[in-house]
A and B are shown apart, each in its own frame.
Chain A
C-alpha cells in the first residue's frame, strides 16, 4: 500500500510517502514560506525522492483540521484534485489525532493543541490503550491557561504538543511537575503521522468523498458570529 500524506494545517508544510510499511520519504519545513507556493513542488519532490510514481499511489491522506483556515483549504483542494484526477481513495485525518501519533506510549495523557486565535486553542485528549489510540475528550476551544489548569486533575504524565507550545507556552507559562512539553521534532504536525493515521482510517473504510469534503473548522466565520449577535437569532 502506497499513500501520499499532506499536512498544511499550521505554519509547517509537510508531505510524506509511506509505501509498503516504510516511510519512504518525508519533507517537513517551517521556513515561513507560503503553502500556496510550495505545497505542489514539495509533493513533486517527495514523490521523486521516494521513487514513487503518482499513478501507482493507492491513497491520499490529508490533515483536515482544526488549524489555519487557508492552510487547510490549500491542502484539501490539492488532495481532492489529485485524488479525483488519479482516481485514488482520499481520507481526511483529524489534525489533533495525527499529532497524538507522536507518542504511541501507553499511560501518557496526550494533549494535542492547535492555535485557535484570540488566546484560545483547539484541544483534545488522547491515550493509547492496547495499541489503540483512544480519544478521551472531544474537541474544545479553551484559553491556553485553562488547558494548563485542567492538567492538574489528570493522573500520570501529561504531554503537551502542537504549534501553541512554542508560540504561547514554552518559557511563558508555569507548568505542573507532571506536564512535559513535546520536544521540537515531535511538537508540530508531520505528514508521516497523517499517513499512519490515514492508513488506519483507510483500513476501517473511513474514506472521504472529494465531492463534499470540508475542512474541520470548529469555529465559524467572524461575519456569521457578528450577524447573530446583531440580529439576536440563528443565521
Chain B
C-alpha cells in the first residue's frame, strides 16, 4: 500500500492485555473513529488486584461485543477494514491470548495484514492521538503498572531505550503500598487523591540511583522503606498519618521520575517531553513535569485521561506506523507476557 492509500486506511485495533477489553477504529494514523473500552475494575476490586483467570474469562465474553460496538460507532463495515492491530505483550498471557486469537482470525477472514503491537509503545503513541501536532523526535517517560522507562523517540519507527527500572515499576510500588494501607484497587488514583491532603515533606523516604547520567530506575528500596515505616509505626502503636505517607511516598517517586526525565531531555538536546502509561493519569506527576518543563522552555505532552488507560486506539496508532515501516506479523504471532521496550534502529 502506498503512503497516500494508507492515510485513508482503516485500522481495527484490539487490546486485552490486562483488565480492559478494548477495540477501536482509526482512519489513517491519528483519527479516532471509535475507541470502546469495557473495564473489569469492579470485578477485580473484591480481590484487591487483577485476578488473571477471571480477567481472561471476562475478555472471552466481551471481545466480540466490544469489536462490534467499535465498528458500529465508527459507522464502518468490517469489510472496509484495511488492517488489524493487536497488543501481543506485555501483559497477562491468558488475557493477551484472547485478543491475539481474535485478531488473527479477523485478519485471516478479511484477508488483511495483521500487526502485533507492543503495549508500551502503544502508550507512547497515545500522545499522537491527544496532540495532532506532535512529531518525533522527543523523549518519552513511560510509567505504567509494570514498567518505568525513558525512551528517546527519534522517529515513528526508531527508538533508543535510554534506561528502565531494575526492579519494581513505579506503578507496582503505588499498588503495593495502596494495598498495605488498605486502599481499594486500583491503588494509584487512591494514593494520588489521599496525597492531596497530606504533607509531602513529612517523611523523608529514600531515592535511588540519583547520580547524573543514570537513566535507570529502582523503586524496590523506596517500597520497602514505606512498608517498614508503616510497620514500625504500627508496632510502636503510633498513629499513622496516611495522607502524609501517601504524599511523601508520591513525592519521592515523582521527584526521581521528573529529574531523570528532564536530564534526559537536556542530554539529548531535545525540546519535547512526552509522558506515557497508566501512571500518566497521576495529577501530581503531570503537574510537576509541566511546571519543570515550563521553566526550561520544554514542550510537555501527556495523553488525555481516556487515552492514559489501556485502550485500543493507541494500539491502532502504533500499528498504523508499524505498517508504514513494513513491520507486520504473520499468523504464528504469539502472546509475549514479559515483552519489554527495546531500541529499534531506522533500518529495521
Contact = CB atoms under 8 A, between A and B. Distances in A.
B331 to A, nearest CB: 4
A213 B98 CA distance: 13
A76 interface: yes
B57 A78 contact: no
Given A82-B109, A85-B109, A223-B51, A211 B331 contact: no
Interface residues of A, number: 37
Interface residues of B, number: 36
Contact of A211 (B64, B94, B335): B64
A206 interface: no
A81 B102 CA distance: 5
A222 B64 contact: no
A221 B56 CA distance: 10
B54 interface: yes
Main secondary structure of the interface of A (DSSP, over half): helix
Interface in B48-89: 51, 53-54, 56-57, 59-61, 63-65, 67-68, 78
Contacts of A74: 97, 101
Contacts of A39: 101
B334 A37 contact: yes
A36 interface: yes
A214 interface: yes
Given A73-B97, A73-B101, A82 B108 contact: yes
A214 B64 contact: no
Contact of B68 (A76, A211, A227): A211
B318 interface: no
A77 B331 contact: no
Contacts of B47: 223, 227
Contacts of A217: 57
A40 B104 contact: yes
A80 B333 CA distance: 18
Interface string B169-212: 00000000000000000000000000000000000000000000
B74 to A, nearest CB: 16
Interface string B103-125: 11110111000000000000000
Interface of B: 46-47, 51, 53-54, 56-57, 59-61, 63-65, 67-68, 78, 93-94, 97-106, 108-110, 331-335
